[in-house]
Each structure stands twice: as C-alpha cells, then as structure tokens.
Amino acid sequence: MIVVTGAAGFIGSNLVADLEARGAGPIVVCDWFGTDERWRNLAKRKIDAFVRPEDLGEWLNANAGDVTAVIHMGAISATTERDVDKLVENNINFTVRLWDWCALHQVPFLYASSAATYGGIETGFTDADDLDALMKLRPLNAYGWSKQATDVIFARRIADGKPTPPQWAGLKFFNVYGPNEYHKDDQMSVACKLFTQIRAGGTVRLFKSYRDGIGDGDQRRDFVYVKDCTRAVTWLLENPKTSGIFNVGSGAARSFLDIAKALGRVMNAEAKVEFIDMPEAIRDRYQYFTQADMTKFHDAGLNAPFASLEDGISDYVAQYMAREDQYR
C-alpha cells in the first residue's frame, strides 16, 4: 500500500497516474480538495482510500502493517506565501512527523524538497546532502527556506546517527511543466500560460533583459517535464538502496523564448512576442540562469534521458492542452 500526499496536486496526481500504470498499489491519497477543479486531476484514477491531512497520523497508525511507502508531495508551494507559521506547520513539521513515523515503522519515505532552496545563485546547483553544504544555501523566500530547513533537520539527524527510514530521498524539482497544473493559477508553468495566449491569438509577453550579453527573452531556466519527475520517483521506489537529496531537472537550461517558439511550432501558430519592462522591484535579484546538476542521480543509475523541451512541449500540447479533456 503506497500513500501519496499532495495527491490532488500537480506532481502528486501525475505520480498517482504513473503508479497506477505500473500496477503499484493499493494507492491511498492524502490531500485537501477545496472548491476548485483539482478533483479532476484524480478523476481517472483507481483510488483505494482518501485521507485528509489532519487524519493521516491516525490512519497510518491504524494501517501500519500494510504501508509499503510514503511519498510526500504535499506542501504549500506558493513562493509568494507570507504566513510563515503556516509554512512551518505544513512544510516543516508535517514532513518531520512523516519522517519519524517512517523511521519508526521502517517504511521508505520520499519527499519533495525544492530547487528554491538554492536561492539566487546561477551556478553550482549541486545536490549535496551533507549538513555543511545545506547550511550554505540562501533561499530567497519563506517557501524555499521552509524546504531548506526541513532538509537541514534530516541532515542533522543522519549526522547524529538517529533513526532514519530504510530509504529516504528529498527531491529538488526545478521548473516543472505538464498536465494537471491548471488549478495553480499564477503558479502555473510558463508553458501553460503561453499556450493560452497563443491559442487566443494574443501576443506573448516576455521580460526584457537587463544584463549585458543576454538578449531579451533569453533568460534561461531548467524546464523539466512532469512525466520525467514522476519517473524519477518511481525509479527510486524500484531502487530501495538509493537514498539522498537529488536534483530533478532536465539538466539543460533553455530560454523563455525557446518555449514560445516550441509552442508555436507544435500549435502551427505564430508566436508573436512582445518584450516588456521587468518590474524594478525584482531587477536586482532576477535569476538569468538555472540548470540542475544531474550527475548524482545519473551516477545512482537513473540514466534514461529526460525529454527535451521540444519533445515535452509537443506531448503536453498534443496529448493534453489541445484536447477538450486536458487532464491526465
């Protein structure tokens, strides 16, 4: 029995789809559904049980003998969240309680960390999991700090020789795009937002560059297709001797302009681009480059190549966004 938290969310729901396709299970989902459309993310899945987050501890204790893995994708993921107490309780304390339960019952525990832990750096995205390396990171927002603080707690416990789950992994997802992200509003990927603009015949708006040698729209990010993210998680389940903190990205930085061009090609539409002023408030701390160092994951044995931006965009549009039913 596999428990997936945050299962109605973007990465969580894609993970449930992958687990189902691989015949894993039974699958138990833990999440709040609220009043938006995120229930559609799981509408096609065969779910064995639904558990509210506040009831998860009691449910785990009652089913301890049947749980074979806990995959914790649940979190407040908005980088704009200002209620730090809320982040502490939901992103740090809840995760630590799950770690403790898995350590006590010797159940594998995989959880979502974040590339936001790296802060504003533009080189050196190396997924070291020792305490000294983690303490040197400087996240730019409270969300990123909450993920770093969680990683640090676990690193300290490991360094002190305290009990751990038999397998554990913290996953630093980079800029993820793909199906089932539609409920995320302003937190949706650039690919999803630009698709809507191009389909409506509108103009794609990208930021001007304020750095010498970098053209307008040529600011680069590590855009990674969600199916590759969930493949990394399922690979870990199939390789229980592998533990640690791992980057999850394509390993290839691409520009925002590349996304617009890739969408235009697969949609057979002109991607009209207008370059707009970047707000002054963010110009001094805007990142022009992120790229996951995937060496650690590759050395562990995850060697199958991730989708290129063009292939990922093509699948996303053809199989999901261009269809009446966009959900996986």
What are the residue numbers of the active site?
Answer: 143, 184
What is the distance between the alpha carbons of residues 204 and 34, in angstroms, rounded to a whole number? 31
Q: How many CB atoms lie within 10 A of CB 65?
A: 7
What is the distance between the alpha carbons of residues 89 and 75, in angstroms, rounded to a whole number? 10
Residues 6+ apart with CB under 8 A from 321: 179, 192, 195
- Give the burial class of 277: count Cβ atoms within 10 A of its Cβ; 0-12 exposed, 13-18 middle, 19 or more buried: exposed
DSSP 8-state secondary structure symbol assigned to residue 116: G
Q: How many CB atoms lie within 10 A of CB 327?
A: 16
Report the length, in residues, of the chain. Answer: 328
Residues 6+ apart with CB under 8 A from 5: 12, 30, 31, 53, 56, 70, 71, 72, 73, 74, 98
What is the distance between the alpha carbons of residues 287 and 219, in angstroms, rounded to a whole number? 8
Measure the N-to-C terminal CA separation of the chain; round to a whole number of Å: 22
Q: For every residue of 271-326, which 3-state class applies, written as one string?
A: CCEEEECCCHHHHCCCCCECCCCCHHHHHHCCCCCCCCHHHHHHHHHHHHHCCCCC
What is the distance between the alpha carbons of residues 151 and 135, in angstroms, rounded to a whole number? 9
